[in-house]
Amino acid sequence: MKKLFLAILVVSGLSGEDLRAVFNTGEQSANLLLKTLGGELKKKLQEGDLKGAIEFCATNGLSITHQLDEKLGENISIKRISMKNRNPDNLPNDSEAKILYMLENSPQSILTRVSDGSYKLYKPVRVAKPVCLKCHGKGEDMPEVARKTIHSLYPQDRATGYSMGDLRGAVVVTIRGE
């Protein structure tokens, strides 16, 4: 992480302290989204309602992300991306796909500078708990209710076949200057 941080520092022209603030803003924003989405999903799963949890994600995942994006203000935007997306709105563009490829072998977030002077923090999202595999695992290992519900809500679903520790995608936080 230090090498990447220093490389961006040299290219960016920001002081180390300013760049650290940008990085921290990105991390805090990404963590807030993950905590918000994860907390709501956890409630549904604790109720023992796997179908309801999947339906919750389908109907609320993007809207929660958009609501948080608005709360963060005009200088910060947030979204989720994945090469094996469930929702087509989460498909990365070409430059984001390259970063996802880099994140495959990086346990830490990556901060980049964009040509317009803004920064993008890419926080990796990994399959971290066995419960994740109920909806993102290999088809034959997933509960039947999960397979059927996902197929009915997402006929073009590509977000399965994962194992523990796999990169599921990333949260992307764009931080623009004041």
Inform me whether the pLDDT recorded for 11 exceeds 70. Answer: no
- On average, the pLDDT of the chain sits at 89
Residue 22: Cβ within 10 Å count: 20
In tens, the pLDDT along 47-67 reads: 888 999 999 999 999 999 999
In tens, the pLDDT along 15-37 reads: 667 889 999 999 999 999 999 99
Number of H helices, E strands in the chain: 6, 4
CA distance linking residue 118 with residue 88, whole number of Å: 25
Q: Edge-to-edge strands of the sheet including 76-81?
A: 76-81, 167-175, 119-126, 110-113
88-97 average pLDDT score:
94
CA distance linking residue 108 with residue 143, whole number of Å: 31
Q: Dig out the tokens for 111 from the structure.
A: 């901060």
SS3 state at 151: helix
CA distance linking residue 149 with residue 54, whole number of Å: 7
pLDDT of residue 161: 96
Q: Please, which pLDDT band fits residue 107 given cuts at 50, 70 and 90?
A: confident
Q: Dig out the tokens for 40 from the structure.
A: 């709501």
CA distance linking residue 38 with residue 16, whole number of Å: 32
145-153 average pLDDT score:
95
Query: What residues form DSSP beta bridges with 170?
Result: 81, 124
